[in-house]
Amino acid sequence: MKSFLKKIQIPVSLIVGIYVAYWLIANPQESYTMPVIIIWLPDVIGWNAFFVLVGALASLLSLGIFASLTEDKDKQDS
């Protein structure tokens, strides 16, 4: 099972990132609730670039989840 997860972790994380960016760009909402600390970011880089950045972060998050599921505990101890 771990070898299967290792083989699909990169394609799945890319699909997740592309889907998140596409969904945010293709289905605009009337308004977005964002934390105050990043409210300036879409104004600086633009909304489409911001959504691509969010998609990249979602991709990295899914890659991290897959990596934590497939890491070997035996190799880590030595």
Q: Convert the pLDDT of each residue in 3-37 to its tens digit.
A: 888 888 899 999 999 999 999 999 888 888 888 89
What are the structural domain ranges in the chain? 11-72
Q: Please calculate the CA angle 41-43-47 and round it to the nearest 5 degrees.
A: 85
Residues 6+ apart with CB under 8 A from 8: 66
Q: Band the pLDDT of 78: cuts 50, 70, 90.
A: low
17 — phi, psi (to 5°)? -65, -45
Inter-CA distances, 23 with 20, 66, 75, Å: 5, 22, 39
Q: Provide the whole-model pTM.
A: 0.81
Mean pLDDT, rounded, for 43-56: 94
CA distance 24 to 44: 18
- Residue found under tokens 């083989």: 7
